[in-house]
Amino acid sequence: MARGIYIHIPFCHQICNYCDFNKFYFKNQPVDEYIEALGKEMALTVDKHPESFTQIETIFLGGGTPTALSPEQLTRLLTLIRTYIPMDGVTEFTSEANPDELSEAKMRALFDGGVNRLSMGVQSFDQDLLKKIGRTHSNAHVYETIALAKKVGFRNISIDLMYGLPGQSMEQWRDSLEKAFALELPHFSAYSLIVEPKTIFYNQHAKGKLKLPTEDLEAEMYDVLMQEMEAHGLHQYEISNFAYEGFSSVHNKIYWENDEYAGFGAGAHGYLNGVRYSNHGPLKKYMDTLEIGELPIIYEHEVTDAEKREEQMFLGLRKTDGVSHILYEGKFGESMHVRYGQVIEKLVAEGLLEHDENGIRLTRKGRFVGNEVFQEFLLED
């Protein structure tokens, strides 16, 4: 049974140098037709899996850039969502946004359409760094947009920050954190740069033209991040996410708790009835498939019992609370120690995991090498 819904809007007015998501330049794209295709996909999916859509808690508009759409297009999209998705249990409805695209008309379209949370891609408050990573907004855009969002009625606002950027210094990172805290927002996400294939940065890196901070400096930036968030009263509830009480992202917790969700849109991924799936990425293929009344799924994988257990461990360990004994035993009918006892003992001895009667979780030391810890739980079946 799905707890959440992800809807992919693959259009951007500017392509960021680090982005590897399915995306297209907005100009000359069939945006209106794409929105109607999303409606068809939602209708077909709910009709095929009605039992999976009875307890939807969250909806997330991601991209690409949802706010690349016009106010009228956003209104049409939100109307289709309310038409096909049962909204009674939805408590969190998020839209990603760019600071220089979110006009008052777009904000009112989102707010009036049921969106109650904004996730804004700020990344840095250093204009030179923003240019390096392909962002087009200024600090003034950020300040004005957040003030306007609060005026419209949004109270749950999050911004993304990035560290480990090309040429980024500790001074620049501290300055971005200081400016972020001055906004008095309830939630922050902060990610280190990962150079992904099929990105501009990947090509630059392959040619030796991308100067990145050292691993030690990146680790220091993460250390400063955790210290400063704690000093400002924000709880680290996941490796990269910090919030005041009551403002943790419910939607992201669905992923980390390894629960099911539906994914709609070109290149979107979902997890329904024990099957992980992904859609066609090219717009024409996505829309043509729906035009003939078929779902645009290109790949399906029925998750094995062993994979479910592995995912429960390495996704759950992203959370500061870690993996609960009760939750694990409720899902799999046995203690996590049956399969992972030796791994847990080893990682506890190395100071990377904590273990008590409630469950297991990363130590502060373990957060710096989270991916290495997660790999320990990928056991051969």
pLDDT of residue 42: 98
The rounded mean pLDDT for the chain is 94
* Helix locations, the chain, DSSP H: 31-48, 71-84, 104-112, 127-133, 139-152, 170-181, 200-206, 215-231, 250-256, 283-291, 305-316, 325-332, 337-349, 364-367, 370-375
Q: CB-based contacts of 342: which residues, under 8 Å, 6+ apart?
A: none
Q: Could you tell me if 329 and 250 lie in one domain?
A: no
The total of structural domains in the chain comes to 2
Q: How far is CA 121 from the centre of its chain?
A: 11
Determine the pLDDT at residue 17. Answer: 67
pLDDT tens, position by position, 207-249:
888 888 999 999 999 999 999 999 999 999 999 999 999 999 9
Domain around 133 = 2-255
Asked whether residue 354 falls in the same domain as residue 251, the answer is no
Q: What is the pLDDT of residues 97-148, one digit of tens each?
A: 999 999 999 999 999 999 999 999 999 999 999 998 888 899 999 999 999 9
From 255, 277, 305, the end of a domain falls on: 255
Which CATH number belongs to the domain containing residue 351 in this structure? 1.10.10.920
- Same-domain check for residues 332 and 208: no
The pTM assigned to this predicted structure is 0.94
